A and B are shown apart, each in its own frame.
Chain A
Amino acid sequence: MTTEPTETIGLLAGSRPRQRRERVIRWFFLSAAATSILISAAIVLSLAGEAWTFISNVELASLTDIGWFPRRGAYDIGTIVVGTLLVAGIAMLVAAPLGLGAAIYLSEYADRRLRKVLKPALEILAGIPSVVLGYFALTFITPELLRRIFGSEVAGFNMLAAGVGVGILTIPLVASITEDSLRAVPNSLREASYGLGASRMRTSLRVVFPAAVSGVVASLIVAFSRAIGETMVVAIAAGAQGGSLFSVNALQPGQTMTAAMASLAIGSDRVRGADFAFQSLFFVGLLLFTMTLTLNVISERFVRRVRQRY
């Protein structure tokens, strides 16, 4: 069957409407993906605008005042930053050993059956909402645990309980990222080590762990970033709703950046943007955003280093 060349081209040319439709569909999906950039831009804009209003109008002296009492015009950034670092630091003291230990055990010691039973436990822990941990910190950790150890020194609201609560929240994060890095270490290295007569502990600590160290560092950085950004545990268990004096005593109430923002937002029906308490919220938000973004970017560098090696 012979066809004229023009007919053949007609056969193969395809349908215009269909091609147009395909293009439209592609643009539709592209714009969906592009909204993510819009969201980032929106976050930065919404923070920057009011933050600038705050910083340009407020007296600089009040930034190093006695404490963080936004409704009274005392905006000591140091108080809330130190509070954040203190709580996050305590959280890491809890999460790092428990998370790393669990990861090493699951990766190097546990057999298949044990992993099937124990891993879900960590996943369940990961799914517990932070308000529940806040409740637990306030009603159990403080009275049953901390008071038993430290006695009556411990205030009803204190940063130590909040730190422990945040730490518990973060254990699964440390464990899962670390375990992934450990399992990414090729088995041939383990075989080489065992072949030389190394024990399991030696192999885990001297061969596998050093090979996976970038991933471990990444997990700790991500966990720290998460701890810094955690709000509800502190809001519930660390007290200090209205504000706080500068304090490094973990057994006493304190204020973190996140809880400060929360308390500003809750009470802000009364404060109608008249003075700068409301704007301070955005300033602190910008500060927090910058800190977590920096940490996350740094941790990505470490993850990339792991991928490069293997």
Chain B
Amino acid sequence: MAITTPRAYAPDAVRRVLQRKKRDVRGRTFHVGLVATLLTSVAILVILMVDVVLDSLTVWETRSLGSFLTSQLSADPAVAGIAQALYGSIVLMIFTIAIAFPLGISAAIYLEEYARDTRFTRIINANIRNLAGVPSIVYGILGLALFVKALESITGPQVHGRSVISGGFTLGLLVLPIVIITTAEALRAVPGGIREAAYGVGATQWQMIRQHVFPVAAPGILTGTILSIGRAFGEAAPLLMVGGITTFFQAGDASIVEQLQGRFSALPVLVFSWVRFPQDEFRALTAALIIVMLVVLLLINATGIYLRNRYEKDL
């Protein structure tokens, strides 16, 4: 009976014990510490935003947004704009979508709907997970070796293959694993009952996928793919490797094909370029450019979330 000790059960004694709320100093400190870590991250975000906005003020004071967006690159900070970079980013996103979406969604459909659990399938899955973790600059090297050097004739003979086509393909490959993974998750989330019901009325596998599974998974797929566009939008390292230009160039009145096969820039690459100029005015221009980038990113992500909410409501 060693562990049961006689107790005093008078209400006062009990009350004293139960109300003995030790000033749990360690517990309180820990709690405060945890809150501090979270608030620090939030504070960093806020400080970053405020700093960028403040840095950019001189630009907005002296120029209009329109002029900033439509002027071409120039060594003179007073007239320099982001036109080519904006154009380049847009074209790059189109290429990225064109490459990563069909390929990625198809691959995910195979892995989730057709593939049996064989060694081959497991290898593909592991491979895709690894590809998702490869640093973006390595994709740049792949782009350099493949699109710039090997496929120079297609991607832009005039500029030794350092064209927006190369950039677009490279980004497409970069984003492909993410598209596959998010699409696969969206497909997995579709309840099995839907597939069974479709088979039950005699649908073929492709009919089931196209008419029953895909519509249900579409919002999730859409959101995932739009978020991956956002990721591609902010990448600079792979573009530097395939020739994203960091000096000046003129976007002349060349034809579309010539433009695609010509030199290119993109918004993140331009940040890298401008930030290295010592003049204060370029500091402000960089900050203004960053704000444009962040606004576009916000729009992309907001679109993704909005579309997801809208289609989920329709279901």
> Which 10 pairs across A and B sit closest by C-beta, in order of nearness?
A229-B135, A129-B234, A101-B37, A46-B145, A32-B106, A29-B110, A231-B237, A105-B34, A33-B107, A296-B133
Interface size in chain A (residues, C-beta < 8 A): 83
- Is A6 an interface position by the 8 A CB rule? no
Question: Which one of A29, A97, A121, A300 contacts B129 once the chains associate, using CB atoms below 8 Å?
Answer: A300
Contact A200 to B138, CB < 8 A, known contacts A36-B177, A127-B301, A131-B271: no
The complex places the Cα of A32 from the Cα of B128 at a distance, in Å, of: 12
Contact residues in A for B129 (Cβ distance below 8 Å)? 296, 300
Chain B nearest CB from A27 CB (Å) reads 10
Question: Which one of A121, A131, A231 contacts B42 once the chains associate, using CB atoms below 8 Å?
Answer: A121
Contact residues in A for B290 (Cβ distance below 8 Å)? 131-132, 135
Chain B nearest CB from A124 CB (Å) reads 6
Contact residues in B for A289 (Cβ distance below 8 Å)? 134-135, 138
A229 adjacent to B107 (CB under 8 Å)? no
Question: From A297, which residue of chain B is reached at the shortest CB distance?
Answer: B130
A33 adjacent to B111 (CB under 8 Å)? yes
A232 adjacent to B272 (CB under 8 Å)? yes
Interface string of B265-281 (1 = CB under 8 A from A): 00010011001100000
Question: Which one of B45, B109, B133 contacts A225 once the chains associate, using CB atoms below 8 Å?
Answer: B133
Contact residues in A for B145 (Cβ distance below 8 Å)? 42, 45-47, 49-50, 282
Contact residues in A for B204 (Cβ distance below 8 Å)? 18, 22
Q: Is the interface of A mostly helix, strand, loop or mixed?
A: helix
Contact A201 to B27, CB < 8 A, known contacts A135-B287, A138-B275, A289-B134: yes
Q: Is the interface of B mostly helix, strand, loop or mixed?
A: helix
Chain B nearest CB from A110 CB (Å) reads 8
A40 adjacent to B27 (CB under 8 Å)? no
A229 adjacent to B137 (CB under 8 Å)? yes
Interface string of A222-242 (1 = CB under 8 A from B): 100110111110011000000
- Is B235 an interface position by the 8 A CB rule? yes
- Of the A-B pairs whose beta carbons lie under 8 Å apart in the complex, a sample of 20, sorted by A's number, is A30-B114, A36-B176, A101-B38, A102-B34, A105-B38, A122-B41, A128-B48, A129-B293, A131-B234, A132-B293, A135-B52, A140-B47, A199-B27, A202-B27, A231-B237, A232-B268, A235-B237, A236-B276, A296-B130, A300-B126
Question: From B111, which residue of chain A is reached at the shortest CB distance?
Answer: A33
Chain B nearest CB from A271 CB (Å) reads 13
- Is A37 an interface position by the 8 A CB rule? yes
Contact A231 to B206, CB < 8 A, known contacts A131-B236, A134-B272, A136-B48: no
Chain B nearest CB from A91 CB (Å) reads 14
A135 adjacent to B138 (CB under 8 Å)? no
Contact residues in A for B173 (Cβ distance below 8 Å)? 39
Kindly list 7 other residue pairs between chains A and B, CB separation below 8 angstroms, not including A136-B52, A231-B137. Answer: A47-B138, A98-B37, A101-B38, A129-B268, A231-B240, A232-B236, A282-B141
Chain B nearest CB from A129 CB (Å) reads 3
Question: Which one of B102, B109, B110, B241 contacts A265 once the chains associate, using CB atoms below 8 Å?
Answer: B241
- Is B36 an interface position by the 8 A CB rule? yes
The complex places the Cα of A171 from the Cα of B180 at a distance, in Å, of: 25
Contact A121 to B45, CB < 8 A, known contacts A236-B275, A285-B141: yes
- Is A306 an interface position by the 8 A CB rule? no
The listed residue with most B CB atoms (<10 A of its CB), out of A21, A33, A34, is: A33
Contact A121 to B41, CB < 8 A, known contacts A39-B176, A42-B142: yes
A132 adjacent to B294 (CB under 8 Å)? yes
Question: Which one of A36, A200, A281 contacts B141 once the chains associate, using CB atoms below 8 Å?
Answer: A281
Contact residues in A for B230 (Cβ distance below 8 Å)? 127
B237 adjacent to A135 (CB under 8 Å)? no
Contact residues in A for B40 (Cβ distance below 8 Å)? 98
Question: Which one of B113, B128, B133 contacts A36 once the chains associate, using CB atoms below 8 Å?
Answer: B128
Question: Which one of A102, A134, A285 contacts B137 once the chains associate, using CB atoms below 8 Å?
Answer: A285
- Is B303 an interface position by the 8 A CB rule? no
- Is B297 an interface position by the 8 A CB rule? yes
Chain B nearest CB from A131 CB (Å) reads 4
